[in-house]
Amino acid sequence: MNAPEPYRVLFVCLGNICRSPAAEIIFKKMVAEQGLEHLVESDSAGMIGYHRGCPPDSRMLTALKKYGYEDPGLKSRPVRKEDLEQFDLIVGMDRENLRDLKRLDKKGQWTGKIVPMCFFTTRFPDEEVPDPYYGGQEGFEHVVKLLQDGCGNLLERLKEQLSL
């Protein structure tokens, strides 16, 4: 008997150097802490390829480190059309990301799996994950806390949905 295919989550922001890699790092640590790596996988990507091959922003890595997350050596990549088919859930950080993801889905067949990150947050009033790129360090730390909340709730929902 073959093992079931892992449930695959893709986190998406604009450039894949701040919010989406942070979500991937946070989510992967939570999945690993619960011993679910063989059942739940994640990745991150950006709507634009400008930062292709670049590591996460150093300010984001500093904020993540403050909250106990290590730099796993991620590299930015753009979203590919095949990601829409290959991932079970695609989590956009803001309205613009969600709109652009839905535009990639020309036939509308994957729209149901494209959701906003803040759909999973419960401790913050934010309706989108703000882009901290042009702000100060406190903006990066706010994003980390927001993503911790959202990723934790996302994982709990997946565990219920997948009966884990």
Model confidence at 2: pLDDT above 70:
no
In a domain, 99, yes or no: yes
The gap from C-alpha 158 to its chain's centroid, in whole angstroms, comes to: 14
In a domain, 38, yes or no: yes
In a domain, 1, yes or no: no
Model confidence at 96: pLDDT above 60:
yes
In a domain, 132, yes or no: yes
Could you list the active site residues?
13, 19, 131
Q: What is the dihedral of CA 13, 142, 43, 88, to 10 degrees?
A: -80
Q: Structurally, how many domains does the chain consist of?
A: 1
User: Do 70 and 148 form a contact (C-beta atoms < 8 A)?
Assistant: no
Instruction: Provide the whole-model pTM.
Output: 0.97
Say which residues have a Cβ less than 8 Å from residue 10's Cβ, sequence separation at least 6: 42, 43, 44, 45, 79, 83, 87, 89, 90, 91
Q: Tell me the CATH number at 46.
A: 3.40.50.2300
Say which residues have a Cβ less than 8 Å from residue 61's Cβ, sequence separation at least 6: 55, 71
Model confidence at 117: pLDDT above 80:
yes
pLDDT, one tens digit per residue, over 9-44 is 999 999 999 999 999 999 999 999 999 999 999 999
Model confidence at 1: pLDDT above 80:
no
pLDDT, one tens digit per residue, over 142-164 is 999 999 999 999 999 999 998 88
> According to the model, what pLDDT value does residue 4 have?
78
CA distance 19 to 133: 9
In a domain, 56, yes or no: yes
Residue 95's SS3 state is helix
Tell me the average pLDDT across 95-118: 95
> According to the model, what pLDDT value does residue 63 have?
98
Q: Which domain holds residue 119?
A: 7-161
Average pLDDT for the chain:
96
In a domain, 81, yes or no: yes
In a domain, 2, yes or no: no
